[in-house]
Amino acid sequence: MKAAILLAFLLVTSCAAYKSYNQNTTGKVTLRGGNYQGESWDDKLIFTRMSWYHGMTLYYDALIYKADIESPFTKWFSSSEKEFFTKCESLIVAVNYSATPDRISHVNFREQMKLNGYDDVVVNTFATFLRTHPNAQDWRIFNYKVMGYCKRAPSTLNKEGLTINFPSFKELTVKN
Q: What does the domain layout of the chain look like in residue ranges?
A: 20-174
**Is it the case that residue 134 has pLDDT exceeding 90?**
no
Residue 148 is classified by DSSP as: E
Write the pLDDT tens digit of every residue in 15-55. Answer: 555 555 899 999 999 999 999 999 999 999 999 999 999 99
d(CA 39, CA 17): 51
Q: Which of 62-71, 145-154, 156-165 has the highest mean pLDDT?
A: 62-71
d(CA 100, CA 108): 12
d(CA 94, CA 137): 17
Contact 173, 155 (CB under 8 A): no
Q: What is the pLDDT of residue 54?
A: 93
**Is it the case that residue 58 has pLDDT exceeding 60?**
yes
Contact 109, 58 (CB under 8 A): no
d(CA 95, CA 164): 15
pTM of the model as a whole: 0.83
Query: Residue 5: pLDDT band by 50, 70, 90 thresholds?
Result: confident
Q: What SS3 class is residue 40?
A: strand
4 C-beta neighbours (distance < 10 Å), count: 8
**Is it the case that residue 4 has pLDDT exceeding 70?**
no
